[in-house]
Amino acid sequence: MAYKIAIIVGSLREGSINRKVARSICGLRNDNLDCSMIEIGDLPLYNQDLDSNSPEQWVRFREQVGQADGVLFCSPEYNRGIPGVLKNAIDVGSRPYGQSVFDKKPAAIVTASPGSIGGFGANHQIRQAAVFLNMPVMQAPEAYLGHVTDDSFDESGCLKEGPLKELIKGLAHAFHDWVHMIHESRRLLAEDSAHAAEAKAHA
Ligand SMILES: Cc1cc2nc3c(=O)[nH]c(=O)nc-3n(C[C@H](O)[C@H](O)[C@H](O)COP(=O)(O)O)c2cc1C
């Protein structure tokens, strides 16, 4: 069964390496991960005053993420942290209070950079937000992708053969298994509770 995955890329740049990594993940796992890129560049800055009358872009974003079975964050690191556009999208999706579209959704976090520490700082700031958002985040494999440049991709924008592609393949498989485990265990728990309630009713 294909799980719907909302991919949120933390870069608005046309030639973003993070967008290319995201696209490569979609390409590698399109048989059982049904990936859609959710655009965040048009989201007005979050303002709590607008919770009761949200801009249409916020509504569209919340609907798109809300329909997904899981969320994949693919982001650069800006000044050792989360790019503002991504933080804004996270804030928009998390509100109004009690109606977060991220709640309980399994997630994975990938950060890519031409630098050597692969966006570690941004990766962990996203993880920090995900704790509060109540998202079960895949712990391993961790994906701080360092030394990623335009040369890492072919003309179609997909990862060239090599260790990075192998790592991403492993990550895509692991993410599918993670999303499946979360949804399947919830389904089984719900089934168990229903059986228990039925047995109690007939006791
Ligand atoms: C405002 C800004 C801040 C940056 N800060 C970092 C940083 O803290 N760590 C890092 O590894 N790279 C940093 N970079 C370099 C980015 O990793 C690089 O531009 C990368 O290609 C951006 O990702 P993208 O290609 O997906 O847009 C920064 C770039 C910009 C524009």
Half-sphere exposure at residue 33, Cβ-oriented, CA atoms within 13 angstroms: 31
Give me the pLDDT at residue 29, please: 64
* Stated pTM of the model: 0.95
Q: What is the CA(70)–ligand 1 centre distance, in A?
A: 26
User: Best substitution site from 113, 117, 144, 145 to test ligand 1's pocket, by max atoms within 8 Å of Cβ?
Assistant: 113
Instruction: Calculate the alpha carbon distances from 16 to 75, 132, 173, 180 in Å.
Output: 9, 28, 23, 29
Q: What is the CA(138)–ligand 1 centre distance, in A?
A: 24
Q: Report the mean per-residue pLDDT for the chain.
A: 95
Q: What is the pLDDT along the chain (203 residues), one digit of tens a residue?
A: 799 999 999 999 999 999 999 999 888 766 789 999 999 999 999 999 999 999 999 999 999 999 999 999 999 999 999 999 999 999 999 999 999 999 999 999 999 999 999 999 999 999 999 999 999 999 999 999 999 999 999 999 999 999 999 999 999 999 999 999 999 999 999 999 988 888 989 88
> Percent of the chain beyond pLDDT 90?
89
Q: What's the pLDDT tens digit per position in 147-198?
A: 999 999 999 999 999 999 999 999 999 999 999 999 999 999 999 998 888 8
Contact 123, 199 (CB under 8 A): no
Pocket of ligand 1 (CB under 6 A): 11, 13, 16-18, 76-80, 113-115, 119
Give me the pLDDT at residue 30, please: 62
Tokens representing residue 186 in the block: 């919830």
Contact 20, 158 (CB under 8 A): yes
